[in-house]
Structure 1
Amino acid sequence: MATFLKRKATVVALAALSLTLAGGGIAAAANPAAKTAAEAGQPGARQPGHQPPVTAAESRAAKAALNATLAAPTPGLVAWAVVSANGTLLQHSANVVSAKKFSPSVPGQFAGQYQVTLDYDIHLKSLHATIGTNDPANVPPGGEVSVAPRYLTPNAVFVQTRSSSGGYADRPFHLVIAN
C-alpha cells in the first residue's frame, strides 16, 4: 500500500508540474500585447557606430587651432569640457578651442554626434566622457556616451551620445582628456 501511495504522489506531482508549465506557456502565447524591448526598458539593436566625414572647413579650422597652440598640458594634468545637448561649449579648460554638434539633417550625420577641438594632438591620450550637465540641479538625462579620437583630425575628439535604449539621442556631456 505504501508503494502505491508513493507512486500515486509522484504521478500527481508530475501532473501538477506539467499543468503549471503548460498553463504558463498558454498564458504567454495568449498575450498579444507583449511589450517590445524598448517598451520593457531593455536595450534594442544598436545603430552602427561611425563618424561623419571630415569637411574641408573642419580640417582647416582644426589645423589653425593646432598651429595656434598654447602648450599641451603637462603629463598628469587634464583638459576638460562641459558641452550642452545642442553642442554649446558651456565650460572648458584653456586648451579646448571649440565644440560643435553635427546636424542630423545632413546625410551621414546623426543625432547625438559631437566634435570637440583642442589646440594640441590628442592621439595616445586617455579620453573619458560621461553624460552630465552644469545646471544647478545637476541631474543629467539617462543615456550612454562614447568617445574616440576624431577621424583624420589629430586634435579633435568625436563624442556619440545615445538614449538608454541605444538609439541616437542628443545628450549633454562632460569630457576629460588625460595627459
Structure 2
Amino acid sequence: MTKPFRRKAIAVAFAVLGLTLAGGGIAIAQPAAQAPGQPAARASSSQPAVTAEATRSARAALKAGVGTLAASNVGTVVNANGTKARGTGYVIKYGTGQYEVQYGYVVSSGVYQATIGRPDACCIPPGGEIVVAPRLSTPNAVFIQTRNSAGTPVDLPFHLVVHTY
C-alpha cells in the first residue's frame, strides 16, 4: 500500500513542479501591471534614425575639427526650438524633445551631463526630465531627449556639458 502512495506522491510533486514552472513562464510573459498613482509608461527610449544630412554634417565637423582631442570640457546651451544659444557644437532637432549636438572631434567615450535650463539669465526653467546618450553611428555627437514631468516628450531648453579624456 505504501508503494502506490509513493508513486502518486512523486507524480503529484512533478505535476506541481511543472505547473509552477509553466505558471511562472506565463507570469513573465505578461506585461508588468502599472501600480496605482504611477505615471503612464515612458515614451520610447530609442533614437531616431541617423539622417543623411546628419551624417554629412558630422563628417564635415570631424574634418574641420581635430578629430580627437586630449582632455577637454565643452558646453552647449540649446533653446527649446533646437537652435544653439551659445557654446560649441552644431545642433540638429529631430522631433519633439529630440536633439543631437555634434562636435568637431570624437566624444563617444566621453562623459555627458545635461540639465534643463533657460538660455538667458531670467527665471527658473520649466520642470521636466532630460536624458543624454552617445549618438548611434555618430562618434562625434550626443543625443538628448527632453520630457515633461509626466514623461511626455516636449521641447525644453537645456545645458549640455561634454567631458572628453
TM bracket, shorter-chain basis: 0.7 to 0.9
Q: Distance in 2 between matches of 1:133 and 1:71?
A: 30
Deviations 1:69-101 (A, max 9, x none): 1475542x30110000000100104xx2x1121
Structure 1 pair 141–123 and aligned structure 2 pair: CA distance change class (3 A): same
1:92 to 75, 87, 91: 87
Q: Distance in 2 between matches of 1:71 and 1:92?
A: 19
- Aligned length in residues: 129
SS in structure 2 opposite 1:59? helix
Contact persistence 1:143–1:162 (CA under 8 A): yes
Matches within 5 A, 1:65-80: 65-70=61-66, 73-75=69-71, 77-80=72-75
* Unaligned ranges ≥5, structure 2: 1-35
SS in structure 2 opposite 1:58? helix
Deviations 1:120-143 (A, max 9, x none): 011110011000012232411000
Task: Report the equivalent of 1:23.
Answer: none
- Tell me the amino acid that sits aligned with residue 92 of structure 2: K
SS in structure 1 opposite 2:58? helix
Contact persistence 1:46–1:166 (CA under 8 A): yes
Q: Is the counterpart of residue 101 in structure 1 residue 101 in structure 2?
A: no
Question: What is the TM-score of this pair, normalised by structure 1?
Answer: 0.67
User: Bigger radius of gyration, 1 or 2?
Assistant: 1
Q: Percent identity?
A: 45
Q: Distance in 2 between matches of 1:102 and 1:138?
A: 27
SS in structure 2 opposite 1:102? strand
Task: Report the equivalent of 2:16.
Answer: none
Q: Distance in 2 between matches of 1:165 and 1:56?
A: 33
What is the aligned-residue RMSD (CA, Å)? Answer: 1.7
Q: Is the counterpart of residue 81 in structure 1 residue 86 in structure 2?
A: no
Q: Distance in 1 between matches of 2:76 and 2:145?
A: 15
Q: Is the counterpart of residue 112 in structure 1 residue 97 in structure 2?
A: yes
Q: Is the counterpart of residue 146 in structure 1 residue 131 in structure 2?
A: yes
TM-superposed deviation, 1:153: 0.7
Q: Distance in 1 between matches of 2:106 and 2:123?
A: 31
Structure 1 segments of 4+ aligned residues over 6 angstroms from their partners: none
TM-superposed deviation, 1:44: 2.3
Task: Report the equivalent of 2:58.
Answer: 62
TM-superposed deviation, 1:174: 0.3
Contact persistence 2:67–2:106 (CA under 8 A): no
TM-superposed deviation, 1:147: 0.4
